[in-house]
Amino acid sequence: MTGLDYGIVISFLTLMALGGFWISRLIKDSDDFFVAGRELTPFILAATITATNVSMFHFVGMGGTAYSSGVSIIWQNWTGCMALILSGCFVLPFMRRLRIRSVPEFLELRYNRGLRTLVGAFWGIRLCFYLGLLLNLAGTTAIIITGWDNYAAWLLIFSLIAIIYSVVGGAWAVAIMDSWQFLLMIAGALIVLPIAMHLCGGLPKLIEFFKTSDPQHVQLVPQSGDKSWIFIFSILLLSIKWSMIDQAILQRAFGAKSPRVGAKGMILSALITMPLAFFWVLPGLAVAKLHPGKFPTDNDAIPWLLRTQLPLVAKGLLGFVLAGLVAAQISPITSDVNSVATLFTSDVYRTLKRREPTQRELLFVVRITSLLSGLLMLFVAWFLQYGKTGAVNVNLMIVGLLDMPLFVITVIYGLGWKRVNWQGALAGFIGGGLVGLAGYAIWPVGFARNCAPIVSGFGALVIAPIASLMTQHRERVAEAEAIRAAMNPSGADAEGDDFHFVPQSPIGKLGLLFIAIGFLAFLIGVLSAHWGQAIAAPFAVGGMLATFLGGIIRVYSV
């Protein structure tokens, strides 16, 4: 790293801070801070959702996995895009129509206030822990790329600007600055790909090289191996869960101007993320050819490419790409800090208070919680330097045990079956987690961790209805009617939006048909890889593209 490189990164960070302060003048009430005043438009929404989704993990982690296991890691991203289409068509618009700010708020509407407070507090703490992990990855990667071995300084560089403009500018600053960070992130990726491809003789030659030396490295849907069809199927389930209940993603989409705009934002985000996945997977593949010897960890592959090759091309290039990586990391941090603050303020503080707080009080509390969650993130990241593996495993364990039960009670029973009551939801949430935990007592840890989402989700699916049928059902008529009206309004809703769960026009129904056929073709393709069928990759990719086409038709028709 030269002085010019450091200068570029510092200039970028200064611009981000100034931009955040300038945007803070848009904050005039708590809804501005939580959901950007529900004024976001489709393209800004798509940019902020993409920037929230894409972090340094994609460039470094996915590139590193492509280096070691091959191109099929790209499905981690592509299944996420398909899940965004499903959420954009079938879940998000109706939650947005209810004018909620968080997923726990939906739980209060559907079940009761206690469940909202419980889930809000749990989720807030979990996100702080996850933020610490994100920050730790950013710090350790920056050390490898730059050679400047000062962990504390990198933590401060990545977090201080993010914390400052999250505290001052809230969701407005997150949304607008995410849009610019999204552009810088792509610009950095646009530089790295051609350099990597040039070094290994071009993409066609790279594919030919692996077809003769290690065919599985370039198989999109492998029959066996670490990232086989089973991985693709599992990651699809987790992606669906993520796109439908993840607070950071949904909170951005709740900021949409209307339900249909929210749906458009999610579909556009899926469309742009799909081709972008090539930018972080292909350089990893190139490193596998350029550096056949093993790195200490897979995460070292992309930093090695950047550190050794970019300075040879032009001065300042490494600084520009590093600024793109910093941008990629700051946007999920700011989004998650904003989400944690929303959860603690809206779902914990507000529900525990006897009287409704004033706007001024809410804004004060949400800013304080933004600051505290940022400090907690720094605290977690600092201690992760002494024992990261254990912390990562604990995080994976908690995600595996409790996220799928939450998805089951929120989306499957929350929207799908009104007989499930709050006792059933609570029993499903906790019981599902305990069933998953039992797996750790029976199976080896690695296997139990991989199966935990399926086992805990299945546990919640069974326990919630049983507990509901065993307890008294007191129908919440007004709330049930509000949810029903949100999914199928008679004509346009109060905001003049006419997005329905089932499309009203023949074109809209055609879009739905494309989604159904595409998704089915994708599943056939992935599952056929079990028998080593040649149709696996064409069906999986074709199905994904048909799902995208159906999504576009659906959200742009009545």
* Contact positions vs another protein (CB under 8 A): 26-30, 37, 39-44, 46-47, 176, 179, 182-183, 186-187, 189-190, 193-194, 197-198, 202-205, 272, 275-276, 278-279, 282, 359-360, 363
Q: Which is nearer to another protein, 281 or 451 (CB)?
A: 281
Measuring CA to CA, how many Å separate 54 from each of 12, 284, 467? 19, 16, 39
Q: Which is nearer to another protein, 3 or 194 (CB)?
A: 194
Q: Which is nearer to another protein, 207 or 558 (CB)?
A: 207
Q: Which is nearer to another protein, 148 or 364 (CB)?
A: 364
Q: Which is nearer to another protein, 42 or 503 (CB)?
A: 42
Tell me, rounded to whole angstroms, the distance of Cα 133 from its chain centroid: 15
Q: Which is nearer to another protein, 111 or 279 (CB)?
A: 279
| Tokens 């570029």 belong to residue | 8
Least Å distance, CB 35 to another protein, is: 13
Tell me, rounded to whole angstroms, the distance of Cα 143 from its chain centroid: 25
104 Cβ neighbours under 8 A, 6+ residues apart? 115, 116, 117, 119, 120, 123, 343, 347
492 Cβ neighbours under 8 A, 6+ residues apart? 498
Q: Which is nearer to another protein, 198 or 294 (CB)?
A: 198
149 Cβ neighbours under 8 A, 6+ residues apart? 143
Least Å distance, CB 207 to another protein, is: 8
Other beta carbons less than 10 A from residue 271's beta carbon: 17
Least Å distance, CB 280 to another protein, is: 12
Least Å distance, CB 40 to another protein, is: 8
| Tokens 């840890």 belong to residue | 445
Q: Which is nearer to another protein, 179 or 528 (CB)?
A: 179
Least Å distance, CB 282 to another protein, is: 8
Least Å distance, CB 220 to another protein, is: 15
Least Å distance, CB 172 to another protein, is: 9
- Backbone φ and ψ of 244, nearest 5°: -105, -20
Least Å distance, CB 547 to another protein, is: 19
Q: Which is nearer to another protein, 176 or 240 (CB)?
A: 176
Class of residue 407 by CB neighbours under 10 A (exposed 0-12, middle 13-18, buried 19+): buried
Q: Which is nearer to another protein, 269 or 456 (CB)?
A: 269
Cα separation, 23 vs 499, in Å, equals 31
Q: For residues 274 and 78, is the Cβ–Cβ distance under 8 A?
A: yes
Cα separation, 490 vs 494, in Å, equals 11
Angle among Cα 255, 257, 263 to the nearest 5 degrees reads 80
User: What does the DSSP 8-state code read for residue 40?
Assistant: B
DSSP string of 391-444, one letter each residue: HHHHHHHHHHHHHHHHHIIIIIHHHH-TT--HHHHHHHHHHHHHHHHHHHHHS-
Q: Which two tokens stand for residue 177?
A: 């600055």
Least Å distance, CB 442 to another protein, is: 46
Residue whose C-alpha is closest to residue 325's, from 171, 133, 154: 154
Intra-chain end-to-end CA distance of the chain, in Å: 53
Least Å distance, CB 211 to another protein, is: 14
